[in-house]
Structure 1
Amino acid sequence: MASFLHLDTYLDTIERAAQRRDGRTLASLLSLSHQHAENDRLCVENPELEVSGRVNPPWQEVVATHLRTAWSRRRGAFDEAFDCQTIIVQAFSRAFQAMESENWPLPVMLTLAVDLRRLACRCAAAGYGKKPHEHLEKAADSIMGLFRVCASDSRATMEKSKKWGMMGLCNQLFKIYFRINKLNLCKPMVRAIDNLVWPKDRFSLAQAITYNYYTGRKAIFEDNFQDAQKFLSFAFHRCHRRAHSNKRQILIYLIPVRMLLGSLPRQQLLRKYSLLQFSGIATAVRSGNVLQLKQELERNEQFFISCGIYLILEKLRMITYRNLFKKVFLILGSFQLDIAAFTAALQFLQEEDADAELTQCIVANLIYEGKIRGYIAYQQQKLVVSKQQAFPSIFACGSN
């Protein structure tokens, strides 16, 4: 799209796009990422008079306030720009709700929501607000208002329904709620999208990838690792092969989930996406080396914590115990195993406070989780294991 030398030309182009119901062009003309938002001729403090003479309702307030937003942003007044963008979203919400059986402005709606979230992030980074996350929470409230407008559209046909805007808005809210650590607020949105009666594959692939990425992360924190693997795998395999950084970001969460379900990553994959932080973890789990697992977690602690996966990786400790105890079982070649043998193995690997009581506790948990088939004979201080698959595949007990 060509740059604009004069405000009148810009306003006439907006009016023509609105008359043609060209949502994509109008969205671009109202985006703070478009080149016009850097043009001093168009960033006007009080553009109401010019706008009212060239743009018809209901777009007058949206366009005028957009130019004021761009003006404030150019001055570095991000808090003022955020307030103006909030007014734009609210004005658009009222106008959009009044449009019956029309959804052509959906690209405009998503653009306005994205800009509002980005301005909220700039305000948060600059330390604006009386309390933490104030602007992000306000942005979420405004975007949720748009989400309700879309979700409540029950009269229009499928092709003209505003509900096609729900997933894009949901993704913006995901980004906010994950940042402010309020994942519980995601549930109503996910439920609303799950309850849609038409096929979910009708949403754009880009939106579906983002949606599955965040629903996968949400499932991780709910300890629903089977769903997490399904959603994150969808996001990874559908993500464009050249989107290397995006695929790497997905793998940061998919790799721990797959390890918990019994599938360890290949070195080739870790090297390709520069995720060798998981290499030592995978080796430790595979070999049952609880000492190495502890050392690898400590060595890469900062990375794992920053990604929010440290506690998830801690759960690999039980699989590592299982693999260690399976080695003891294979070495002894008996179905009645002294608890002392497991204790000796733990002590050899410098497990802290390893004694008979701790060992029995670990074994009991492994039996409960289905990672060992057997029972503890407490009087004899032995583990009696099944003669059929005493140590089942992790895949068989991955959902526990």
Structure 2
Amino acid sequence: MAFMSLSNYLQIVERAWNSQDGSKVALFISLRHDHACYANYHVENPEGLVERFLPGPIDELVILHLKCLHALSKMDYMGAYQIQSNLIQSFTKILQMQKEENWSLPIMYTVCLDLRLLAQKAEKSRVGINEKPGEILEKAAECLMGCFRVCAADNRSSEEDTKRIGMLALVNQLFKVYFRINKLHLCKPLIRAIQSSPFNESFSLSQQITYKYFVGRKAMFDSDYKKADEYLTYAFENCHKLSKKNKRLILIYLVPVKMLLGYVPSKSVLEKYDVIQFWELVQAVSCGNLKAFDELMEIHESFFIECGIYLIVEKLKIIAYRNLFRKVYLILNTHQIPVEALQTALVHLGQSDVDLDETECIVGNLIYEGKIKGYISHQHRKIVVSKQNPFPPLTTLV
């Protein structure tokens, strides 16, 4: 953007507002637009000048926007966040007053995204201060919910003028906050609101991909792996092929979900999207090498914890047990496998603290999950497996 005087800027905003060009107004009150870099927009007390050029209620938004830029120029992230919070509250009232129109939705998308990003910076700037972790982001979510309620309360049935078509963008912003502060239970009513919306087909593909990604992650944490697979697969397959970073992010959660459902990812896919950390783990699981599995969990512990998937990946050990027991079955070549033989294999691979009862318990879980077809004869301490396909095969993903 070429250098523009503040008065020219205000005139452009006025014309955009009067013509109800929400997208253009959004640009000029965005903290990420080019104008935000220029010092002449960093005004501590812009009221007098702004009120000369702009009518209400847009004047209040621009005044707060310029004050926010001033705070940011001083690297006062907490002050900027508080000003942006006030801006959102002012905008929510404007949105509520616009009973029969939705042209200002692009403004809502912009100011809400800016608020979330500022809240994250404010959180980081408050590290070490006596502040409850996540408190700023939680308060930011309350501001976002104000806009969400206005959109959700719009009863008009035409997608051309209803504010409900703005719900998904807000839900995605709220998801990003709730996942960051680990309050996933707050996602549930938002998911219900979107599922019951008659405008699901009106949401943009990019918004749907983000939504499916977060709902898929939540389903994964809720141990609903089939739903997680459905949603994460949708997000991965519909994500633009050039968005390699986003595809990688989706795969970090999709890979362990697929493996828990019995699918084995190919090395080429893991290499293509730079999640090769999973490959040696895949090999350890596929071979039933419990010792290697434990070692790799320790090696990649920080990566798995950082991604929030450590406990999910650890559950893959049950697949490793299945593959180890299948090897024992093939070696013994019998449908009646002594529990002691399975325990011996476990001890050989570093599971020295597993006794016969625990071995039976592991087998019981595998039978319950359908990974082994058979039953346990407790009286004879044997596992009696089916004569037809006792170990249902895993599927390799191309």
Whole-angstrom distance in 1 between the partners of 2:41 and 2:326? 71
The residue type equivalent to 1:112 in the other structure is: V
Matches for 1:192-271 after TM superposition, within 5 Å = 192-198=193-199, 200-271=200-271
Match of 1:112 in 2: 111
**1:82 aligned onto 2:49:** no
Structure 2 unaligned regions, length at least 5: none
Confirm or deny: 8 A CA contact 2:159 2:202 kept in the other structure. no
Matches for 1:295-314 after TM superposition, within 5 Å = 295-314=295-314
Confirm or deny: 8 A CA contact 2:264 2:394 kept in the other structure. no
Quote how far apart the aligned CAs of 1:325 are.
Answer: 0.9
Which SS does the other structure have where 2:263 is aligned? coil
Matches for 1:148-187 after TM superposition, within 5 Å = 148-155=149-156, 157-187=158-188
Whole-angstrom distance in 1 between the partners of 2:119 and 2:9? 27
Quote how far apart the aligned CAs of 1:354 are.
Answer: 2.8
Quote how far apart the aligned CAs of 1:327 are.
Answer: 1.5
Confirm or deny: 8 A CA contact 1:129 1:135 kept in the other structure. no
**1:333 aligned onto 2:333:** yes
Quote how far apart the aligned CAs of 1:117 are.
Answer: 0.7
Whole-angstrom distance in 2 between the partners of 1:308 and 1:240? 24
Quote how far apart the aligned CAs of 1:118 are.
Answer: 0.9
Confirm or deny: 8 A CA contact 1:244 1:273 kept in the other structure. yes
Quote how far apart the aligned CAs of 1:372 are.
Answer: 1.7
Confirm or deny: 8 A CA contact 1:289 1:320 kept in the other structure. yes
Quote how far apart the aligned CAs of 1:156 are.
Answer: 5.2
Match of 1:362 in 2: 362
Whole-angstrom distance in 2 between the partners of 1:269 and 1:384? 37
Bigger drift between 343-352 and 177-186 goes to 343-352
Cα distance, 1:50–1:135 mapped onto 2, change above 3 Å = same
Quote how far apart the aligned CAs of 1:158 are.
Answer: 2.0
Confirm or deny: 8 A CA contact 1:101 1:156 kept in the other structure. no
Bigger drift between 203-212 and 84-93 goes to 203-212
Instruction: Encode CA deviations 1:78-109: one digit per residue, 9 max, x unaligned.
Output: 11111110111000000111101211111100
Confirm or deny: 8 A CA contact 1:343 1:356 kept in the other structure. yes
Which SS does the other structure have where 1:264 is aligned? strand
The residue type equivalent to 2:306 in the other structure is: S
Matches for 1:127-146 after TM superposition, within 5 Å = 127=126, 130-146=131-147
The residue type equivalent to 2:141 in the other structure is: A
Match of 1:398 in 2: none
Confirm or deny: 8 A CA contact 2:285 2:323 kept in the other structure. yes
Quote how far apart the aligned CAs of 1:202 are.
Answer: 2.1
Whole-angstrom distance in 2 between the partners of 1:82 and 1:25? 23
Quote how far apart the aligned CAs of 1:129 are.
Answer: 6.7
Match of 1:36 in 2: 35
Whole-angstrom distance in 1 between the partners of 2:388 and 2:160? 56
Confirm or deny: 8 A CA contact 1:93 1:149 kept in the other structure. yes
Quote how far apart the aligned CAs of 1:65 are.
Answer: 0.9
Cα distance, 1:142–1:129 mapped onto 2, change above 3 Å = farther
Match of 2:392 in 1: 392
Instruction: Encode CA deviations 1:52-87: one digit per residue, 9 max, x unaligned.
Output: 121122211111111111111111111111111011
Match of 1:15 in 2: 14
Whole-angstrom distance in 2 between the partners of 1:281 and 1:122? 35
Structure 1 unaligned regions, length at least 5: 396-400
Whole-angstrom distance in 2 between the partners of 1:101 and 1:193? 22
Match of 2:288 in 1: 288
Match of 1:344 in 2: 344
Confirm or deny: 8 A CA contact 2:366 2:372 kept in the other structure. yes
* Count, aligned residues: 393
Bigger drift between 275-284 and 379-388 goes to 379-388
**1:67 aligned onto 2:66:** yes
Instruction: Encode CA deviations 1:222-249: one digit per residue, 9 max, x unaligned.
Output: 1111111111111111111111111111
The residue type equivalent to 1:388 in the other structure is: Q
Whole-angstrom distance in 2 between the partners of 1:227 and 1:343? 34
Match of 2:54 in 1: 55
Match of 2:94 in 1: 95
The residue type equivalent to 2:102 in the other structure is: N
Whole-angstrom distance in 2 between the partners of 1:339 and 1:131? 51
The residue type equivalent to 1:280 in the other structure is: E
Confirm or deny: 8 A CA contact 1:371 1:394 kept in the other structure. no
Quote how far apart the aligned CAs of 1:155 are.
Answer: 2.8
Whole-angstrom distance in 2 between the partners of 1:324 and 1:30? 60
Whole-angstrom distance in 1 between the partners of 2:164 and 2:214? 19
Which SS does the other structure have where 1:41 is aligned? helix
Confirm or deny: 8 A CA contact 2:119 2:137 kept in the other structure. yes
Quote how far apart the aligned CAs of 1:392 are.
Answer: 2.5
Instruction: Encode CA deviations 1:358-381: one digit per residue, 9 max, x unaligned.
Output: 211211222222222222222221
Whole-angstrom distance in 1 between the partners of 2:157 and 2:113? 25
Quote how far apart the aligned CAs of 1:122 are.
Answer: 0.8
The residue type equivalent to 1:231 in the other structure is: Y
Match of 1:189 in 2: 190
Which SS does the other structure have where 1:57 is aligned? coil
Whole-angstrom distance in 2 between the partners of 1:242 and 1:344? 49
Bigger drift between 237-246 and 307-316 goes to 237-246
